[in-house]
């Protein structure tokens, strides 16, 4: 069994609307060995190693369901077993995941194994360890060679995996805050491998790192880290604090201890989590030993008076005391028969104890501090502890070192509550953990005494969220109330736009409308990421990474995201949901790639955007595949777009109060009209939109209708939509590569990125409607990764509609031979009864464009389907018929065309580039 393919999805995808990993698992010989054939020994050994599998419901939907599947007569296949093992290993490491699905992918012995994850690397490692575990449980003769290390110890590997997961996953405090945020529908983005998390999108975002927040002041953290300064500030306000002395060497430490008076406490000036702390020191020798221990954690050491009493952590958030916990250092209690080591082992068997922050409590360990305290008490690890005697193995009650916590929130005296709040305000922290020693938290400090030992920035939440004893406290919600007060937004509006054709233009239209409505727009599209109209990252940015770039930018107040097929298939969406999802159309482009073989498969991919839409799903009612997506929409509103004003379904939808954008016939032309909740709202005449070329560019009429429907659904006023559409054109600077028209030559040139039959057909039909009706030339191409039938269809769409055809290839061949695509286009044109003399193959794009431009005469029109859009536009705008042709890569002579008045332009690599009086350029070998 091996993994032969992997996809990690960041958001909604083909398999779920949340994060999952998909492994393509090849069982090989094990396809013939389901669990029913492997027998009870295999199943029993597996459950013994992962007892939590007994809780998996599987298809039965109840605990024990998976074990039933394992032990049925035929059992289940190992790809399915691996799914559950990967989930359970993550559960063991503390992740809350449960979804999984395994199905045959049509290849014998191969399965698409899909499972949920919280951390990508942890999920991948869980699957890897799961395969090794399953192989180790197989009979020796079935184990693939080298698949199981000879020294494989699953218990050791499991603990190592847990520690690895703990290093990768969010700590308990950050995790509690993230859970609280998600419960309020506040989006969360992890910004690094540790605990830095963005809450909210765009301009509304806040950040947390553990319990440090966007509202935490740097100076307050600095003060809290300086224990001496904190002690002085609190003391100056009359708050109870112990006496302190700052020391730098051992001699000073002894002198300070005698000055303060024994017993004393010693700790690093800027330490945390109880590291380097020693308490209850009673003589000079203990002080010297404690100084050496503290010095490992910092250069400056504090000696302070020891305060008798219980250690209480008082959590203050946004000026209110929200939780109090009494902490007890890690310890064991003797029974008169077991050794200290046996008592520690027994304590660590408590299911609540785990590695690091894996569980509510942390396992006890024999380290330097534990051995020092045992020595002070006169015990060793093999000593038998008398019955009822408590042996402390830690000086402090930190949970991270094995301590326990008891909730005391309801017992706090009002004076102590006020004291904690005053101390926090004095330091200036938004979230603080006040460490207060007192014999009785229910009595006022003014009566019983006690002292504030520390005020901690970034206090841990684990002791409050999951105390060892007492009521758990919801301490994350007060933080959310502080960061996002009720009624304030956490998200910027998101429009997700997909479809086979028109998505870039529609995305640009929508962004332009918002820009004209005075918004700071973040846009992700095929030519880059734009923030407030400025290009920040260039390239095809239509996947989840680009979406997150936009959503992470603090300037953005609305996000318009082109969402392409490739990104959806590779990584899913980069966000959990959008406000408006739109599918413009679905045609047969990109078929045969990444397992998408039919147009119905493609529709299922595009439908992801509709399933993720929360407020409105905008659908092309004239496209049957889009229309069917309405059944899967969970958005509050459906908005249909139709260019057929008599569309029966849309008319019924409108009568029911639904939302629609309809192209209606009128005395002045075609009117784009909005319907919503019974209202009839004429927007504007289609021919007045510059991008429609007076209505001739029908595809842009439809794009404008989608832009109107999307922006209206996002709350843009009608007058702002009108203004946006009336000022949007198809210049290169507005929408590069989308119907860019250049009229500064004696002939017209149109540059377009059309690269599939539907896009090419739209442009061809536009050319036929344009004036004047002079000669027509097309520079034709197709991406190399398209199917032969798609390339043939592109040629057939053009056949018979032009006077000249120049066939080229893209710079990137995508698996094709250098001349394969242009030659296939040529053959298809010939089969379409295009005369051979009208067809020319010029593989290089620059040479092909130059030939077309030199062919042009006054009144002609040249349609260029470009690949390198920037380069082609510069070539078109900078063209001069008297200038030398660009250097090319062409070495082979091209087919001869009858020439009139041949003129030699230049010699290039053993060829003459010559043109006739029509400007047609042909390469001819130079004669000796």
Number of H helices, E strands in the chain: 30, 41
Output the six-digit token pair for 297: 């954690």
Residues of the chain with confidence (pLDDT) below 50:
889-928
Q: Is residue 519 within 8 Å of 557, Cβ to Cβ?
A: yes
- Phi, psi torsion values for 66, nearest 5 degrees: -65, -40
Q: 552: Cβ–Cβ under 8 A, 6 or more apart, which residues? A: 189, 191, 198, 201, 205
Which residues are paired to 749 by β-bridges? 742, 862
Rounded to whole angstroms, what are the CA distances from 877 to 14, 50, 873, 893? 43, 68, 6, 28
Element spanning 769, H or E? helix 757-769
pLDDT of residue 907: 35
Q: What angle do CA 165, 166, 167 make, to 5 degrees?
A: 90
DSSP H/E element including 740? strand 740-742
Residue 32 has, within 13 A of its CA and on its CB side, a CA count of 3
Q: How far is residue 809's CA from residue 807's CA, in Å, rounded to a whole number?
A: 7
- Quote the CA–CA distance of 190 and 431 in Å, as a whole number: 21
Q: For the purposes of burial, counting CB atoms within 10 Å of the CB of 120, is it exposed (0-12), middle (13-18) or buried (19 or more)? A: middle
Q: Which contiguous run of DSSP H or E holds residue 827?
A: helix 820-831
Phi, psi of 757 (to 5 degrees): -55, -40
CA–CA separation, 928 vs 925, rounded Å? 9
Is the pTM value of this prediction over 0.85?
no
DSSP 171: P
Of 317, 304, 343, 351, nearest to 454 by C-alpha is: 304
Alpha-carbon distance of 186 to 198, in angstroms, equals: 10
Please tell me the distance from the alpha carbon of residue 195 to that of residue 276, in angstroms, as a whole number: 24
User: Residue 613 in contact with residue 713, Cβ under 8 Å?
Assistant: no
Alpha carbon distance 13, 572 (integer Å): 5
What is the SS3 assignment for 346?
helix
| Whether the Cβ atoms of residue 284 and residue 257 lie closer than 8 Å to each other | yes
CA–CA distance, 219 with 3 (Å, rounded to integer):
51
- Report in angstroms the alpha-carbon separations of 759 from 525, 766, 781, 910: 17, 11, 12, 38
The two three-digit tokens of residue 98, written as one number: 């449960």
The reported pLDDT for the residue numbered 352 is: 72
In angstroms, the CA 840 to CA 303 distance is 90
Beta 494-498 vs 558-562: how paired, if at all?
parallel
Spatial neighbors of 673 by CB under 8 A, at least 6 apart, are 661, 662, 663, 664, 680, 681, 682, 683
Place of tokens 């708050």: 239
DSSP 35-63: HHHH-HHHHHHHHHH-GGGGG--GGGTST
- The sign of the CA dihedral 151, 156, 162, 164 is negative
Question: What is d(CA 811, CA 348) in angstroms, rounded to the nearest whole number?
Answer: 64
Consecutive H or E run containing 391? strand 390-392
Report the distance separating Cα 354 and Cα 172, nearest Å.
13
Q: What is the Rg, in whole angstroms, of the alpha carbon atoms belonging to the chain? A: 36
| Residues belonging to the chain | 928
Report the candidate in 601, 605, 637, 645 with the shortest Cα–Cα distance to residue 619: 637
Q: Which of 183, 433, 232, 180 is nearest to 322 (CA)?
A: 433
pLDDT of residue 905: 38
CA 424 to chain CA centroid, Å, is 36
Rounded to whole angstroms, the Cα distance separating 697 from 739 reads 9
CA distance 828 to 273: 74
Position 887 scores a pLDDT of 61
Q: Give whole-number Cα distances, 775 to 335, 748, 835, in Å.
A: 103, 11, 15
Secondary-structure breakdown of the chain: helix, strand, coil percentages, each rounded to the nearest 5: 35, 25, 40
Closest residue by Cα to residue 390 from 440, 449, 333, 450: 333
Does residue 820 contact residue 808 with C-beta atoms inside 8 Å?
no
Q: Are strands 278-281 and 264-268 parallel, antiparallel or unpaired?
A: antiparallel
Q: Say if CB 738 and CB 759 are below 8 A apart.
A: no
311 SS3 class: strand
Instruction: Return the DSSP state at 339.
Output: B
Q: Residue 31 and residue 150: Cα distance in Å, rounded?
A: 25
Residue 853 CA to residue 560 CA, distance in Å, equals: 36
Q: In angstroms, what CA-CA distances link 831 with 178, 345, 755, 818, 864?
A: 62, 83, 21, 22, 22
Phi-psi region of 238 (alpha: psi -120 to 50; beta: other; left: phi over 0): left
Residues 6+ apart with CB under 8 A from 878: none
Instruction: Round to the nearest angstrom and report the end-to-end CA distance of the chain.
Output: 66
81 Cβ contact partners less than 8 Å away, ≥ 6 residues apart: 35, 46, 70, 134
User: How many whole angstroms separate alpha carbon 875 and alpha carbon 830?
Assistant: 29
- Tracing tokens 């942890």 back to the chain, one arrives at 122
Name the region of 927 (left: φ>0; alpha: ψ -120 to 50; beta: rest).
Answer: beta
Burial 833-858 (b: 16+ CB within 10 A, else e): ebeeebbbbbbbbbbbbbbbbbbbee
- Of the CA atoms within 13 Å of residue 928, those in its CB half-sphere come to 0
How many other β-carbons are positioned within 10 Å of the β-carbon of residue 761?
20
């Amino acid at each position: 069994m091996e993994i032969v393919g992997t996809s990690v999805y960041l958001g909604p995808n083909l398999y779920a609307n949340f994060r999952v990993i998909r492994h393509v698992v090849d069982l090989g010989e094990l396809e013939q060995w389901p669990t029913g054939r492997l027998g009870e020994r295999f199943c029993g050994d597996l459950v013994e190693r992962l007892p939590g599998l007994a809780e998996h419901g599987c298809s039965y939907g109840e605990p024990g369901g998976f074990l039933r599947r394992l032990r049925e007569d035929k059992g289940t296949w190992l790809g399915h077993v691996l799914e559950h093992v990967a989930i359970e290993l993550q559960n063991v490491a503390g992740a809350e995941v449960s979804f999984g699905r395994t199905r045959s992918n049509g290849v014998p012995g191969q399965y698409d194994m899909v499972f949920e994850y919280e951390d990508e690397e942890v999920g991948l490692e869980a699957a890897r360890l799961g395969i090794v575990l399953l192989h180790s449980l197989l009979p020796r003769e079935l184990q693939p060679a080298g698949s199981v290390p000879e020294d494989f110890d699953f218990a050791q590997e499991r603990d190592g995996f847990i520690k690895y997961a703990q290093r990768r996953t969010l700590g308990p405090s950050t995790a509690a805050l993230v859970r609280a945020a998600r419960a309020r529908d506040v989006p969360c983005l992890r910004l690094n491998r540790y605990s830095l998390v963005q809450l909210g999108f765009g301009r509304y975002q806040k950040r947390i790192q553990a319990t440090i927040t966007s509202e935490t002041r740097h100076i307050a953290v600095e003060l809290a880290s300086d224990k001496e300064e904190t002690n002085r500030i609190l003391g100056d306000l009359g708050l109870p604090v112990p006496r302190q002395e700052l020391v730098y060497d051992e001699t000073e430490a002894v002198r300070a201890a005698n000055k303060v008076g024994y017993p004393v406490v010693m700790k690093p000036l800027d330490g945390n989590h109880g590291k380097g702390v020693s308490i209850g020191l009673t003589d000079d020798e203990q002080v010297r030993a404690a100084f050496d221990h503290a010095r490992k954690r910092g250069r400056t050491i504090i000696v302070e008076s020891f305060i008798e009493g219980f250690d209480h952590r008082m959590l203050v958030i946004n000026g209110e005391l929200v939780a109090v916990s009494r902490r007890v250092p890690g310890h064991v209690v003797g029974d008169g028969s077991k050794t200290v080591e046996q008592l520690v082992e027994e304590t660590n068997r408590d299911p609540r104890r785990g590695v690091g922050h894996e569980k509510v409590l942390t396992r006890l360990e024999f380290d330097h501090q534990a051995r020092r305290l045992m020595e002070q008490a006169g015990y060793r690890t093999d000593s038998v502890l008398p019955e009822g005697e408590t042996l402390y193995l830690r000086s402090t009650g930190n949970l991270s070192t094995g301590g326990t916590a008891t909730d005391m929130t309801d017992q706090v005296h009002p004076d102590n509550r006020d004291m904690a709040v005053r101390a926090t305000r004095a330091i200036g922290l938004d979230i603080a953990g006040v460490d207060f020693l007192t014999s009785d938290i229910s009595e006022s400090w003014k009566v019983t005494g006690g002292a504030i030992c520390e005020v901690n920035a970034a206090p841990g939440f684990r002791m409050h969220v999951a105390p060892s004893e007492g009521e758990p406290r919801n301490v994350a919600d007060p933080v959310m109330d502080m960061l996002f007060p009720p009624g304030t937004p956490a998200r910027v509006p998101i429009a997700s736009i997909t479809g086979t054709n028109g998505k870039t233009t529609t995305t640009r239209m929508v962004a332009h409308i918002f820009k004209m409505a005075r918004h700071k727009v973040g846009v992700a599209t095929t030519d880059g990421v734009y923030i407030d109209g400025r290009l920040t990252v260039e390239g095809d940015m239509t996947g989840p990474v680009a979406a997150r770039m936009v959503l992470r930018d603090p300037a953005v107040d609305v996000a318009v995201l082109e969402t392409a097929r490739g990104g959806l298939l590779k990584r899913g969406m980069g966000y959990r949901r959008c406000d408006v999802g739109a599918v413009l159309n679905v045609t047969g482009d990109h078929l045969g790639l990444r397992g998408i073989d039919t147009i119905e498969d493609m529709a299922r991919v595009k439908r992801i955007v509709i399933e993720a839409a929360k407020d409105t799903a905008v659908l092309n009612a004239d496209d049957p595949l889009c229309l069917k997506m309405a059944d899967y929409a969970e958005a509050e509103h459906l908005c249909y777009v139709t260019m057929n004003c008599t569309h029966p379904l849309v008319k019924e939808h409108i009568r029911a109060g639904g939302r629609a954008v309809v192209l209606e016939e009128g005395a002045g032309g075609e009117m784009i009209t909005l319907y919503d909740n019974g209202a009839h709202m004429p927007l504007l005449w289609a021919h007045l939109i510059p991008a429609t070329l007076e209505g001739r560019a029908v595809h842009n009429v439809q794009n404008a209708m989608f832009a109107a429907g999307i922006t209206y659904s996002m709350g843009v006023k009608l007058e702002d939509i009108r203004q946006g559409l009336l000022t949007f054109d198809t210049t290169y600077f507005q929408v590069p590569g989308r119907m860019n028209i250049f009229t500064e030559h004696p002939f017209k040139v149109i540059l377009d990125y059309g690269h599939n039959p539907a896009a090419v057909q739209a442009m061809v039909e536009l050319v036929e409607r344009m004036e004047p009706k002079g000669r027509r030339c097309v520079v034709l191409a197709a991406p190399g990764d398209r199917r032969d039938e798609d390339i043939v269809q592109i040629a057939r769409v053009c056949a018979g509609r032009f006077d000249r055809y120049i066939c080229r290839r893209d710079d990137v061949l995508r698996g094709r031979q250098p001349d394969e695509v242009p030659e296939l286009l040529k053959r298809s044109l010939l089969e379409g009864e295009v005369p051979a003399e009208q067809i020319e193959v010029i593989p290089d794009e620059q040479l092909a464009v130059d030939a077309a431009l030199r062919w042009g005469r006054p009144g002609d029109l040249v349609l260029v389907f470009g690949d390198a859009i920037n380069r082609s536009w510069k070539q078109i705008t900078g063209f001069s018929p008297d200038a030398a042709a660009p250097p090319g890569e062409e070495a082979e002579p091209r087919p001869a065309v009858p020439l009139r008045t041949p003129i030699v332009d230049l010699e290039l690599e053993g060829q003459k580039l010559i043109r006739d009086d029509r400007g047609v350029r042909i390469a001819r070998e130079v004669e000796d």
